[in-house]
Amino acid sequence: MSLEAYPIEIEFPTIDRHASGNTGIDYVHTFDSGVPGPHVMINALTHGNEVCGAIVVDALLQFALRPRRGRLTLSFANVQAYARFDPQHPDKSRYVDQDFNRVWTAAALDDLSRRSAELDRARAMRPVVDTVDFLLDLHSMHERSAPLIVSGPLDKGIELAVKLGAPATVISDEGHPEGRRMRDYASFSDASSAKNALLVECGQHWERRAVNVAKDCTARFLLLSGVIDEADLPPGWIEPLPQRMTVVRVTQPVVAKSMDFRFAGDYRGLETFEKAGTVIGWSDGEPVVTPYDDCMLVMPSLRQLRPGVTVVRLGRIVNYPTA
> Final residue of a domain: which of 200, 232, 264?
232
Comparing 34-48, 254-268, 308-322, the range with the smallest average pLDDT is 308-322
| 162 CB-contact burial (10 Å; exposed 0-12 / middle 13-18 / buried 19+) | middle
Residue 208 in contact with residue 147, Cβ under 8 Å?
no
Comparing 70-84, 277-291, 298-312, the range with the smallest average pLDDT is 298-312
pLDDT digits (tens, 9 = 90+) for 189-206: 999 999 999 999 999 999
Q: How many domains are contained in the chain?
A: 2
Is the bond into 13 cis (omega within 30 degrees of 0)? no
Whichever domain contains 178, its CATH number is: 3.40.630.10
Residue 9 in contact with residue 207, Cβ under 8 Å?
yes
Q: Taking the model in full, what pTM does it have?
A: 0.91
Q: Does 271 lie in the same domain as 186?
A: no
What is the chain's mean pLDDT, rounded? 95
Strand partners, 288: 281
16 pLDDT exceeds 70? yes
Q: Does 158 lie in the same domain as 111?
A: yes
Q: Does 159 lie in the same domain as 114?
A: yes
Tell me what the mean pLDDT of segment 268-290 comes to.
95
> Final residue of a domain: which of 232, 260, 283?
232
| Of 87 and 68, the one with more pLDDT | 68
Q: Does 198 lie in the same domain as 143?
A: yes
**Does 1 reside within a domain?**
no
Q: Does 300 lie in the same domain as 188?
A: no
Q: Does 264 lie in the same domain as 175?
A: no
Q: Does 117 lie in the same domain as 87?
A: yes
2 pLDDT exceeds 60? no
How far is 290 from 275, CA to CA, in rounded Å?
8
Query: In this predicted structure, what is the pLDDT of residue 1?
Result: 43
**Does 9 reside within a domain?**
no
* φ and ψ at residue 22, rounded to 5 degrees: -95, 15
pLDDT digits (tens, 9 = 90+) for 111-140: 999 999 999 999 999 999 999 999 999 999
For residue 247, give the 3-state DSSP assignment: strand
Which domain does 175 fall in, by range?
Answer: 16-232
Q: Does 188 lie in the same domain as 44?
A: yes
pLDDT band of 175, cuts 50, 70, 90: confident
Q: Does 198 lie in the same domain as 53?
A: yes
Q: Does 111 lie in the same domain as 51?
A: yes
Whichever domain contains 298, its CATH number is: 2.40.50
pLDDT digits (tens, 9 = 90+) for 54-66: 999 999 999 999 9
Residue 142 in contact with residue 300, Cβ under 8 Å?
no
Q: Does 86 lie in the same domain as 55?
A: yes
Helix axes 208-225, 155-164, angle to 10 degrees: 110
